[in-house]
Amino acid sequence: MKYNYEDWTVIVTGGTRGIGKAIASDFLKQGAKVIATYFGNDETANQMKEEFKEYKISTAKFDVANCEEVEAFFDDFSKHNESLEVLVNNAGIRKDNIVGMMPSQDWHDVISTNLTGTYNMSKYAIMQMMGKRFGRIINITSPSGKMGFAGQANYAAAKAGQVGFTKSLSKEVAKRAITVNCISPGFIDTELIKDLPADLVKQYKSSIPVKKFGKPSDISNVAMFLASKESSYITGTTIEVTGGL
């Protein structure tokens, strides 16, 4: 489906690879100005800028978990941009371990990036959106937050937290025509799950009704839809894109 996001400004956290890259790319192709943020890899970010040099792309490197860095990013953002139509809170990490063996640092890192990062970014984004009385916040959660997978207590807690955060924030900003929703991707072929052992991959695939992992574009399709003006009556909810998992 074609959308027209000409004149829109979109921030996608973790937007230079995987699911975030697919979402950023689709917004760029529909005419939006996109700021793809990232934390680690300059090379990947530069490749993305090169690949989309004909489009309105920029990148920004900072840690979404660090509220000072997020504030500095938005200070700069508001100097160079008139409005913000869409924020996609996509940045996320996994540090799996059973609870009894989980280092406290791994607990905090996963909560800070996935959940506190969503809060940090949303807090400043809604300030940009309120005045214009329009906005879309899309948070990328996970089925782990709903089902809980063994070895993912930190990740499951963070992802379930995003769902609760989404419901509360959606009620706070609905009057300003800002919608807040989650997308819950099933297993999507990206770097994030590259470390899964082959036997586990086989086991997971056989448990998915459509019998395969999804692609980043399966998620970006839904992000395009949720961002559209036509989706104004959808808020505070989660759309599951899991192949029936």
Q: Of 55, 124, 155, 204, which residue is the catalytic one?
A: 155
- Is 165 near ligand NAI (CB under 6 A)? no
**In the complex with ligand NAI, which residue's Cβ is closer, 18 or 161?**
18
228 CB contacts (<8 Å, ≥6 apart)? Answer: 3
Closest CA to 77 of 179, 169, 9: 9
Strands 178-185 and 57-61: unpaired
Closest CA to 75 of 119, 114, 128, 24: 128
Taking the complex as a whole, how short is the minimal distance between the CB of residue 140 and ligand NAI, in angstroms?
4
Taking the complex as a whole, how short is the minimal distance between the CB of residue 92 and ligand NAI, in angstroms?
2
Which residues inside 96-135 make contact with ligand NAI, applying CB under 6 A?
113
Q: Applying CB under 6 A, which of residues 87, 110, 140, 178 lies at the interface with ligand NAI?
A: 140
Taking the complex as a whole, how short is the minimal distance between the CB of residue 70 and ligand NAI, in angstroms?
9
Helix (H, G, I), strand (E, B) or coil at 94: coil
- Is 14 near ligand NAI (CB under 6 A)? yes
Place of tokens 């975030």: 20
156 CB contacts (<8 Å, ≥6 apart)? Answer: 142, 144, 145, 147, 148, 149
3-state class percentages of the chain: helix first, strand second, coil last, to nearest 5: 50, 15, 35
Instruction: Say how far apart CA 221 and CA 196 lie, in whole Å.
Output: 26
Side chain identity at residue 139, one-letter code: N
Choose the binding region for ligand NAI from 9-17, 95-103, 170-178, 233-241 (rule: CB under 6 A): 9-17
Q: Applying CB under 6 A, which of residues 40, 103, 164, 244 lies at the interface with ligand NAI?
A: 40
Taking the complex as a whole, how short is the minimal distance between the CB of residue 125 and ligand NAI, in angstroms?
15
Which residues inside 205-244 make contact with ligand NAI, applying CB under 6 A?
none
CB 90 within 8 A of CB 15: yes
CB 188 within 8 A of CB 208: no
Q: Applying CB under 6 A, which of residues 135, 161, 185, 243 lies at the interface with ligand NAI?
A: 185
- Is 64 near ligand NAI (CB under 6 A)? yes
Answer yes or no: 155 catalytic.
yes
- Is 38 near ligand NAI (CB under 6 A)? yes
Residues classed as catalytic: 155
- Please give the residue ranges that form the binding site for ligand NAI (CB under 6 A): 13-14, 16-20, 37-40, 63-65, 90-93, 113, 140, 142, 185, 187-188, 190-193
